[in-house]
């Protein structure tokens, strides 16, 4: 019983952390898209945070391509 409760608690904590991470990524992406960063700053951020880079190109870059068509 204790193990099951612990697993549920860990899963909940992981889910909450993932939600917060996605929220942070979305906020940063919106700042990128609103020209609050120079391209040099964006490149530096992508190098410092490769997980964000992957997320950004998966979620935002594809949308921009479709919007321009």
Q: Is the model's pLDDT at 67 over the cut of 60? A: no
Task: Report how far apart, in Å, the C-alpha atoms of 48 and of each of 10, 41, 52, 53 are.
Answer: 28, 10, 9, 9
> Per residue in 10-59, pLDDT tens?
787 888 888 888 889 999 999 988 888 898 999 999 999 999 998 998 88
Task: Report how far apart, in Å, the C-alpha atoms of 15 and of each of 22, 37, 41 are.
Answer: 11, 29, 30
pTM: 0.66
Contact status, residue 62 vs residue 54, Cβ threshold 8 Å: no
Domain boundaries, the chain: 2-68
pLDDT number for residue 69 = 43
pLDDT number for residue 40 = 92
CA atoms within 13 A on the CB side of 3: 0
């Amino acid at each position: 019983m204790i193990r099951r409760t612990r697993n549920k608690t860990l899963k909940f904590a992981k889910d909450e952390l993932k939600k917060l991470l996605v929220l942070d990524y979305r906020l940063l992406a919106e700042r990128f898209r609103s020209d609050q960063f120079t391209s040099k700053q964006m490149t530096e951020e992508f190098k410092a945070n490769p997980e964000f880079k992957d997320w950004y190109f998966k979620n935002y870059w594809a949308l921009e391509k479709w919007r321009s068509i």
